[in-house]
Amino acid sequence: MSYVAKKEEFDSSAPAVKSHKIRITLTSRNVKNLEKATHLVRSLADLPLFSLFLVCSDLVNRSKDKQLRVKGPVRLPTKILHITTRKSPCGEGSKTWDHLEMKIYKRLIDLESPAEVVKQITSMSIDSGVEVEVTIAA
């Protein structure tokens, strides 16, 4: 028997949905806020099952529910900012120093989807202190 490939019919009347490459960047000074766990309760055979989903993985799970192509979350290196300053305002006395540092954490999530779907995915509530940047490429 020979195999005959079926010709797929293309409906030209249906509008083509353009897929965009979308990058979501999450930035925070507190890693707990960035990857804060939210408790979801599911019942399985009348037993409650608690599962933890991180903010990043919650975005990924919402995207996979809509059957989108997802890459991430990609953890970028932590940026550490240092400041060393004198404790004494007048310069007299023992030479004591303060060492201050601020850590900045960043996560990237890449999606391929229409722009309307991203609005639905990112409609979740995110803690204060977490900056969200959405970049849409062709």
Tell me what pLDDT residue 50 has.
28
pLDDT tens-digit profile of 19-33?
788 888 888 898 877
For residue 79, the one-letter residue type is K
Q: What is the dihedral of CA 43, 46, 48, 54, to 10 degrees?
A: -20
CB 51 within 8 A of CB 77: no
Query: Mind giving me the DSSP string for 86-105?
Result: ES-SSS-SS--EEEEEEEEE
With a CB cutoff of 8 Å and minimum separation 6, the contacts of 44 are: none
- Residue the block writes with tokens 């979501």: 24
- Domain 20-137: give its CATH superfamily: Ribosomal protein S10 (3.30.70.600)
Tell me what pLDDT residue 9 has.
55
pLDDT tens-digit profile of 30-81?
887 777 532 222 222 232 322 223 566 667 777 777 777 778 778 899 999 9
**Is the pTM of the predicted complex or chain greater than 0.85?**
no
Going by C-alpha positions, the residue among 28, 25, 24, 49 that lies closest to residue 39 is 49
3-class SS of residue 119: helix
